[in-house]
Amino acid sequence: MVLSENKIKKLIDVAKAMVADSKGLLAMDESYPTCNKRFAKLGIPETEELRRDYREMIVTTAGLNESISGAILFDETIRQHLKDGSSFIEILAGNKIIPGIKVDAGTVAMAGHPGEKITEGLDGLRDRLSEYAQMGLQFAKWRAVITIGEGIPTQACLEANAHALARYAVLCQEEGIVPIVEPEVLMDGSHTMERCFEVTEQVLHTVFSQLYTQGVVLEGMILKPNMVVPGLLCEKQESINEVADATVKCLLRTVPAAVPGIAFLSGGQSSELASARLNAMNVRFKTKLPWGLSYSFGRAIQQPALDIWHGKEANVPEAQKALYHRAWCNRAARLGEYNAEMEKK
Ligand code: 13P
């Protein structure tokens, strides 16, 4: 790809800042259906105003920037305002949290491939990215979803999703926006950790091959993968250290050293387990790895705070305490300094 030296330097600087040594990302970019689903579970009305209130609670949490380098927002949120009239982008940037944006349009059933999904959103993406860059958003996210099951994933699904990720990434870099490349192998199902390893390895090889073909500057992107874990319904659930070892082994086989950082998704793990597994990776391997191992958690940072908030203004201070605490635990995990004692209030 033909990018100016200046543009490449800016991409590299932002990517490095996103995975700065003691920090990670907060995913607060739930689409309408996902956010509504989480609200519905708790009986919170699924309204635009409450989605705004909830996200105001998050971004006004004091001290969040001690652990959070960047926040991924949803298109609805960047057009909303806080009660004091400032925009979400302004408040984050003012707190030295880099604002980013989810730009994929979600997944749909993949034609001809039952049980598999393809992510949409490439049409018109160049124009949307240009608007986002003008609004001050410095990085973007695109999530591909890979399901493990009987006879799946197919090579067709892996290649189509990897191709879309690479085309998205190159469009982002052209606009001076750092792409987060997120191929998520889902935890749903009864498959073993070995099967998750095999599929994740195949997925990441396919993704990096496409990133190379499309000319993505690896130094100016972040990878957001799943950890290598057994399916949620698998009888055998490996230990924290076994998951850490398998995940790092898989990443060492597939992720080029030029990539500055890997920020895991949490994917439905409990908050504590996500922190403990990330911590184990950093304790055991941090000094030996070419890239930083960090977090880009959604549920694993937000869930306790959402449970407490429950749609009520009066619960905001307690919810913010819980959010700050989870972010702080993950900061510790990023440094390899997390322990179960931290969970005792
Ligand atoms: P979870 O950490 O809840 O999996 O969300 C991360 C994310 O951004 C999914 O796209």
238 is catalytic: no
Q: Whose CA is nearest to atom 1 of ligand 1?
A: 298
- Report pLDDT digits (tens) over 253-266: 999 999 999 999 99
**pLDDT reading at 20 higher than 80:** yes
CB atoms within 10 A of CB 313: 9
Q: What is the mean pLDDT of the chain?
A: 98
Stretch 294-320: mean pLDDT, rounded? Answer: 98
Name the percent of the chain lying above pLDDT 90: 99
pLDDT band at 39 (very low <50, low <70, confident <90, very high): very high
Q: What is the pLDDT of residue 344?
A: 85
Q: What is the pLDDT of residue 126?
A: 98
Stretch 209-219: mean pLDDT, rounded? Answer: 98
DSSP 8-state code for residue 60: T
Question: SS in 3 state form for 87-153?
Answer: EHHHHHHHCCCEEEEECCCCEEECCCCCCCEEECCCCCHHHHHHHHHHHCCCEEEEEEEECCECCEC
Give one DSSP letter per residue of 286-328, joined into a string.
GGG-SSEEEEEESHHHHHHHHHHHTT-GGGHHHHHHHHHHHHH
Stretch 162-190: mean pLDDT, rounded? Answer: 98
Q: Are 25 and 296 in contact (CB under 8 A)?
A: yes
Which letter, b or e, does each residue of 78-96 get, where b requires 16 or more Cβ atoms within 10 Å of its Cβ?
bebebeeeebbbebbeebe
- Report pLDDT digits (tens) over 108-152: 999 999 999 999 999 999 999 999 999 999 999 999 999 999 999
119 Cα–ligand 1 center, Å = 15
Q: What is the pLDDT of residue 345?
A: 63
Q: What is the pLDDT of residue 2?
A: 85
83 is catalytic: no
CB of 224 closer than 6 angstroms to any ligand 1 atom: no
Instruction: Determine the angle formed by the axes of helices 316-335 and 48-59, rounding to 10 degrees.
Output: 50
**pLDDT reading at 156 higher than 80:** yes
264 Cα–ligand 1 center, Å = 8
